[in-house]
Chain A
Amino acid sequence: MSDLAKEKAARLLKKRGSLSSLGSHEVRAKETFAKTKDSISTVSYMEEPGHHDDIPRPAVQMENTYQLSPARRFPVLTVKDILKDVLTSYLQEEKYEPELCRQMTKTISEVVKARVKDLMIPRYKIIVIISIGQIRDQNMRMGSRCLWDETHDNFSSHTFKNSSLFATATVYGVYFE
């Protein structure tokens, strides 16, 4: 039943949000589907955190570092260069095709995450969001707001466009206190 609902949602929406599933342990994406009179909504999320019955891990006790602020801040411009570089190299000559772009979004997000990790910025959590869309005379708006610590957390984003597709990449760096 849930598979049928999933397929129907995919057909109706004609696009998919995909969650990266590459990792050292298994993460499962779940979806629920709801329909009201005028709108349809689908919720998808990774397997609930904290409920890892199959991988019991002892709670990690963290020592106090007495450190109030990060040693190195999130390097916005360096990350923007990484995004520019990755997007142009992967998408310069591509045309929009659903299957190819689906794979491409996942690949690019993993590549960007790996390169930002290589910068070795200690105590920062990284979130990478990639969207690739077809250009077809439609109008679109993307926005985001964050509830975080202004002084330590930051983000970097870049947009790439060619004749048949556009791609936006955003990287958020959040300090882990």
Chain B
Amino acid sequence: MDDDQSAEETAFVVEEVSSIVKESLEAVIGRNPYEHKRVNQWMSSVVEQCLGQLSKLGKPFKYIVTCIIMQKNGAGLQSASSCFWDNTTDGSCTVRWENKHLYCIVSVFGLAI
């Protein structure tokens, strides 16, 4: 039965995932400036929307979605990730998004079950 499943259905497709992430960022944050009171709610919405869309893809994956929202202030940020997994089935995708007032980095890690 496993042989019948095509590779596309069980692979981590980066384009799909990145378009899901970009859409939810545009929808939730859009052009808004950094507002301290709202950023918590934005973060939850972005991440939950992404996770909802990812689970709708119906692939046999466990997902981890992380989001960093930072005000544009001239400060620097470096980020790295290191993963111990199965390179043939698992994948990750990082989307760096910015508007005039803030930066947003969303990383999605997909691990095959």
Contact = CB atoms under 8 A, between A and B. Distances in A.
Contact of A149 (B48, B62, B72): B62
A134 B77 contact: yes
Contacts of B105: 17
Size class of the contact patch on chain A: 35 or more
B70 interface: yes
B79 A98 contact: no
A145 B79 contact: no
Interface of B: 7, 11-12, 14, 18, 22, 25-26, 30-31, 34, 36, 39-40, 43-44, 47-48, 51, 54-55, 62-100, 103, 105, 107, 109, 111, 113
Contacts, number: 231
Contacts of B7: 50
Kindly list the 5 A-B residue pairs having the minimum CB-CB distance in the complex, ordered from nearest: A138-B73, A105-B80, A109-B82, A136-B75, A144-B66
- Counting chain B CB atoms within 10 Å of each CB, the highest count among A25, A105, A130, A140 belongs to A140
Contacts of A57: 88
Given A44-B96, A148-B62, A126 B84 contact: yes
A18 B78 contact: yes
Interface of A: 9, 12-20, 25, 27, 34, 36, 38-46, 48-50, 52, 57, 96, 98, 101-102, 104-106, 108-110, 112-113, 116-117, 125-149, 153, 170, 172, 174, 176-177
A17 B65 contact: no
A108 to B, nearest CB: 8
A102 B78 contact: yes
A131 B11 CA distance: 28
A147 to B, nearest CB: 4
Contacts of B78: 15-16, 18, 98, 101-102, 104-105, 131-133
Which of A34, A96, A109, A176 is packed against the most chain B CB atoms within 10 Å? A176
